[in-house]
Chains A and B, each alone.
Chain A
């Protein structure tokens, strides 16, 4: 019996990859001015390793949400491609993509249908993908809601009857019910109070350990990013200006913009005062 030499196959380690991704929005500026282009995402290449949490940080308008939408197949790239498990993603086949990759958005108020109960909301992906019999689907929904800490009595309630933290738990249950490998979390705790934020972050950590999930975690809150991620990508004006391990980015930031961003983060340390940030 011969052992085949194991070729280190780093391809197998990559859950998702984007190459030279670009998105341009055409801008109409009225009758007498020439139309212009806004480059929301400019030539971004990223790899998401299996089982890692990659943080994506940057300020509003830097293109991080547009990038996330392209990963989810919700926005079509102007150029470049998205690969999941080494396969190029066809933007016309979003349903196939949804089995691998699911979103959790910032505002659970607007991302949950107000006319459906909690159990119905979480069951929708299963119905769309015709995953099992009705009884099996109900069992899966119950199991998932249990996992995210939604007690039985809330399953028949409507989103308006839930607290912000509970709504986000429902959004997470819906994202996970098809058992995807990758979760794109776009500011998942920004709309929540700090005491609730900690509960949701703990839940995301638990679920990751339970299902071996890969996270892309988008946030402007650097303290939360530092706590949660393995690597960080810093985005500025549509481009990734720095990419590194948590250690590298937070302890030894190389790019001037990363340093400005870190200096602006107001950690709860009285006596430090306010940083001096030059007018942009």
Chain B
């Protein structure tokens, strides 16, 4: 068996609500190789954030997480105690959130917060921790890094705060960073800088990154591989160039068609759009969740869609993608 850094099989997350059980994540499969950038892309409510929280063991207390396995470097995370999970978090798996102001503690200095991770997980003297913090802040493009250690989060701009968060995630040299919409709150020029930084540091430190976003423009520029999520499922997985050149799932094709592109879309023309709305995930979903919005829907779509492998790297969960020669995995 290939030893992936992260291997997720049939991940399900349920949340109790007043109206019944919300199936936020409904049988997600994916893997992450060492050092690669996997983008999880999808619209709001598709389960991408819940998937990341499930991996980090940070789901809301009411939520239940089940999976066939959640292997991180060969160890199933489901078997770990809360204490063992806490030892992993921050040390070998780190997370970067969308809004750095809410994930930084306003009443501690940046230096305290940066060094805390190292003290919690590694034997390091105060001066060693400080040196590493300064080094990483400099690598993350924070000017006057040494002086910044005495500053508080409110004294920094949004872009600088996100640089600090990235430096903090790298303190213990984790194998995996999960970045949940880390540039969504930033301006476009700052976004481009931060994405470039994440990409550079990822390559330099050989860190694997699960990058969660709704922005296909961002995906196209940073991903090695992409997993497209819809209604709590991964509907298509492919290397980035293949996904944009030969999108196989009707939802992926619809998403790509919605964005006006220079030279391709006639200005002022009507844009293709996906009719209807995302289905409610409260209660059971019968068959393909996209069928009611899909132009290619057929009677077979009322059955659970098969996961079709178009080639070794490109898989799509759609019955319309079933040519005779395709290798069909048994649909669960």
Closest to A229 in B: B267
User: Within 8 Å of chain A (Cβ to Cβ): is B282?
Assistant: no
Report whether B189 and A261 are in contact in the complex, using a CB–CB cutoff of 8 Å.
yes
Chain B residues whose CB sits within 8 angstroms of the CB of A266 once the complex forms: 188, 191-192, 195, 215, 217-218, 220-221
B212 to chain A, nearest CB (A): 15
Q: How many A-B residue pairs have CB under 8 A?
A: 123
Complex CA–CA separation, A199 to B276 (angstroms): 10
Given contacts A264-B188, A274-B195, A279-B141, contact A193 B220 (CB under 8 A): no
B227 to chain A, nearest CB (A): 15
User: Within 8 Å of chain A (Cβ to Cβ): is B193?
Assistant: yes
Closest to A194 in B: B258
A218 to chain B, nearest CB (A): 14
User: Within 8 Å of chain B (Cβ to Cβ): is A276?
Assistant: yes
Given contacts A202-B271, A223-B260, A227-B268, contact A194 B188 (CB under 8 A): no
Report whether B189 and A260 are in contact in the complex, using a CB–CB cutoff of 8 Å.
yes
Complex CA–CA separation, A266 to B189 (angstroms): 10
User: Within 8 Å of chain B (Cβ to Cβ): is A197?
Assistant: yes
Chain A residues whose CB sits within 8 angstroms of the CB of B216 once the complex forms: 194, 268
Which interface class (under 10, 10 to 19, 20 to 34, 35 or more) fits A?
35 or more
Chain B residues whose CB sits within 8 angstroms of the CB of A147 once the complex forms: none
8 Å CB contact of B258 from A198, A250, A270: A198
User: Within 8 Å of chain A (Cβ to Cβ): is B274?
Assistant: yes
8 Å CB contact of B189 from A202, A226, A264, A267: A264
User: Within 8 Å of chain B (Cβ to Cβ): is A163?
Assistant: yes
User: Within 8 Å of chain A (Cβ to Cβ): is B261?
Assistant: yes
Complex CA–CA separation, A272 to B262 (angstroms): 14
Chain A residues whose CB sits within 8 angstroms of the CB of B195 once the complex forms: 266, 274
Report whether A270 and B260 are in contact in the complex, using a CB–CB cutoff of 8 Å.
no
User: Within 8 Å of chain B (Cβ to Cβ): is A224?
Assistant: yes
Complex CA–CA separation, A266 to B193 (angstroms): 12
User: Within 8 Å of chain B (Cβ to Cβ): is A7?
Assistant: no
Report whether A267 and B273 are in contact in the complex, using a CB–CB cutoff of 8 Å.
no
User: Within 8 Å of chain B (Cβ to Cβ): is A5?
Assistant: no
Chain A residues whose CB sits within 8 angstroms of the CB of B222 once the complex forms: 274
Closest to B42 in A: A193
Q: Hey, what's the 0/1 contact readout for B248-280 against A, CB within 8 Å counting as 1?
A: 000000111011111001011011111001000
Report whether B268 and A228 are in contact in the complex, using a CB–CB cutoff of 8 Å.
yes
Q: Hey, what's the 0/1 contact readout for A238-280 against B, CB within 8 Å counting as 1?
A: 0000000010001000000000110111111111111111011
Report whether B273 and A163 are in contact in the complex, using a CB–CB cutoff of 8 Å.
no
Q: Hey, what's the 0/1 contact readout for B294-307 against A, CB within 8 Å counting as 1?
A: 00000000000000
8 Å CB contact of A198 from B191, B223, B273: B273
Q: Hey, what's the 0/1 contact readout for B111-125 against A, CB within 8 Å counting as 1?
A: 000000000000000
User: Within 8 Å of chain A (Cβ to Cβ): is B214?
Assistant: yes
User: Within 8 Å of chain A (Cβ to Cβ): is B240?
Assistant: yes
Chain A positions near chain B (C-beta within 8 angstroms) = 59-60, 163, 165, 193-199, 201-202, 205, 220, 222-224, 226-228, 246, 250, 260-261, 263-277, 279-280
| Pairs A–B under 8 Å by Cβ, sample size 20 | A59-B187, A193-B44, A198-B259, A198-B272, A198-B273, A220-B187, A223-B261, A260-B189, A266-B218, A267-B220, A267-B262, A270-B244, A270-B245, A274-B192, A274-B221, A274-B222, A277-B193, A277-B196, A279-B141, A280-B189
